[in-house]
């Protein structure tokens, strides 16, 4: 049985439309215009135990709304959902003891107190025995290398250190399901890497189910085998990272290291050249033409080394996003065209 089961889940908000200007504001006092915003639109999804799933999508795509629905912070407009056999928005304590939500932009620790105090509080909130609490805490602080910071007030910690503490606080009760909303936002590369490594290791040993949203491709490629692309409140793609590359990138990047500067001649005029740093040249080739193109070049030029690779993940995802946006636009147009 899947741990998370979402069926036709939708959430729409009524948003007050305010026009510019004083007159409009005065008018707004008497008559308000509202616009319906479909933050999440008819989403269906199943996640099995032990999966590490990434939610990808442009800002405002509905990723955070989905996490909020799953953690029971908001009620849906329609549709059903079950996590660990519970309906999240009933907010039963049995459910609340078994999951955790970490938001990279929100602080859940006591600002003026050492993290150790917040941990102790969580110990009692979640009813963790002293022995187990000590073991888990020591393990986690050790893994994240923050043991020496335990007794320092949270406000004095750096952003990265604080994020680590937030993670520990959320993991003390060993949640079966973990929702991570941009856990590495604003962190430097080293801290990001450290948290990625930690999450990977943690998930492998605990085999819990994790849903993650992030804008950093590094997070996703390091952690998640399965990627769900959400755009405009709808699921646009659900599959492995490789599938995304296959589906959304029509070309490969070829880098040639020529024997000498002279052998470059004639190649500069190729279509889709990305960069030329003699005696090196980089260009884009359609997937199906790679073999043919390389064959032709090798026949005519002196080549020392060849690298053929997929375009950077960022580019692929960007093209997937714009693809999704276009598809939605055309859908909307058909709807508008069909309605009088």
Partner 1 sequence: MSQAIPVAEQSLSLMQRARIWWTFFQVAINERLVYRGDFMIGTLMRFLPTLTQIFLWWAIYDVVAQSGSDSIASYRYGDMVAYYLMVTIARAFSSMPGLTSGIANQVRNGEVKKFLIQPIDMQGCLLVQRIAHKLVYYLIATLPFALVFFLCRDFFIDGWPSTEVTIVFFASLILTFLLGFFMESAIGLISFWFLEVTSLTFIYMLMNFLLSGHMFPLELLPESPINVRGFVEFLPFKYLAYFPAAVFLGKVEGPEMYRGLAIEASWVLFFIIISRIMWIRGVKRYSGYGG
Q: Is 122 helix (H, G, I), strand (E, B) or coil?
A: helix
- β partners of residue 307: 255
For 92-112, letters b (16+ CB in 10 Å) and e give: eeebbbbbbbbbbeeeebeee
Q: Least Å distance between CB 40 and partner 1?
A: 13
Q: Least Å distance between CB 293 and partner 1?
A: 53
120: contact with partner 1 by CB under 8 A: yes
Contact residue for partner 1 among 33, 46, 112, 142 (CB under 8 A): 112
Q: How many residues bind partner 1 (CB under 8 A)?
A: 32
- β partners of residue 181: 103, 213
Contact residue for partner 1 among 94, 156, 243, 314 (CB under 8 A): 94
190 phi and psi angles, rounded to 5 deg: -65, -45
97: contact with partner 1 by CB under 8 A: yes
For 116-128, letters b (16+ CB in 10 Å) and e give: bbbbbebbeebeb
Residue from 258, 260, 262, 261 nearest 297 by CA = 258
Cα dihedral sign for 231, 237, 241, 244? negative
113: contact with partner 1 by CB under 8 A: yes
Contact residue for partner 1 among 1, 21, 23, 124 (CB under 8 A): 124
Q: How many CA atoms lie within 13 A of 85 on its CB side?
A: 5
Q: Least Å distance between CB 216 and partner 1?
A: 23
127: contact with partner 1 by CB under 8 A: yes
32: contact with partner 1 by CB under 8 A: no
Contact residue for partner 1 among 13, 257, 302, 322 (CB under 8 A): 13
- Assess contact for 279 and 258: CB atoms under 8 A: yes
Separation CA 322–CA 248 (nearest Å): 10
101: contact with partner 1 by CB under 8 A: yes
Which CB atom, from 212 or from 297, has the smaller least distance to partner 1?
212
18: contact with partner 1 by CB under 8 A: no
108: contact with partner 1 by CB under 8 A: yes
Which CB atom, from 16 or from 275, has the smaller least distance to partner 1?
16
Residues 153-192 that bind partner 1 (CB under 8 A): 153
CA of 257: how far to CAs of 205, 225, 301, 304, in Å?
43, 33, 11, 5
Angle at 247 between CA 333 and CA 285, to 5 degrees: 110
Contact residue for partner 1 among 44, 110, 150, 193 (CB under 8 A): 110
Which CB atom, from 8 or from 75, has the smaller least distance to partner 1?
75
Q: Least Å distance between CB 152 and partner 1?
A: 13
Which residues make up the interface to partner 1 (CB under 8 A)?
13-14, 68, 71-75, 89, 91-94, 96-97, 100-101, 106, 108, 110, 112-113, 117-118, 120-121, 123-127, 153
């Amino acid at each position: 049985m899947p741990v998370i089961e979402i069926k036709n889940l939708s959430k729409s908000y009524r948003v007050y439309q305010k026009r510019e200007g004083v007159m409009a504001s005065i008018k707004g006092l008497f008559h308000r215009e509202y616009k319906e915003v479909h933050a999440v639109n008819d989403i269906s999804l199943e996640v099995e135990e032990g999966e590490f799933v990434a939610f990808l999508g442009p800002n405002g795509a509905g990723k955070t709304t989905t996490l909020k629905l799953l953690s029971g912070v908001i009620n849906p407009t329609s549709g059903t959902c079950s996590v660990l056999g519970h309906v999240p928005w009933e907010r039963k304590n049995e459910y609340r003891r078994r999951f955790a939500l970490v938001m990279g932009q929100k602080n859940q620790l006591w600002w003026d107190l050492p993290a150790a105090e917040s941990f102790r509080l969580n110990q009692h909130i979640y009813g963790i025995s002293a022995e187990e609490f000590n073991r888990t805490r020591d393990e986690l602080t050790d893994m994240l290398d923050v043991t020496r910071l335990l007794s320092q007030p949270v406000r004095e910690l750096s952003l990265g250190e604080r994020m680590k503490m937030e993670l520990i606080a959320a993991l003390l009760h060993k949640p079966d399901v973990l929702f991570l909303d941009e856990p590495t936002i604003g962190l430097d590369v080293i801290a990001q890497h450290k948290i990625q490594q930690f999450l990977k290791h943690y998930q492998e040993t605990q085999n819990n189910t994790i849903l993650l949203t992030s804008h950093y491709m590094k997070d996703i490629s390091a952690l998640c085998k399965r990627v769900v692309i959400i755009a405009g409140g709808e699921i646009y793609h659900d599959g492995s990272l490789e599938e995304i590359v296959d589906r959304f990138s029509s070309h490969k990047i070829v880098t040639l290291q020529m024997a000498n500067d002279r052998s470059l001649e004639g190649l500069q005029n190729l279509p889709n050249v990305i960069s030329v740093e003699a005696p090196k040249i980089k260009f884009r080739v359609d997937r199906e033409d790679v073999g043919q193109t390389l064959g032709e070049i090798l026949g005519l030029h002196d080549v020392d080394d060849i690298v053929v690779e997929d375009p950077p993940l960022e580019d692929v995802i960007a093209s997937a996003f714009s693809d999704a946006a276009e598809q939605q636009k055309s859908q909307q147009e058909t709807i508008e065209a069909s309605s009088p």
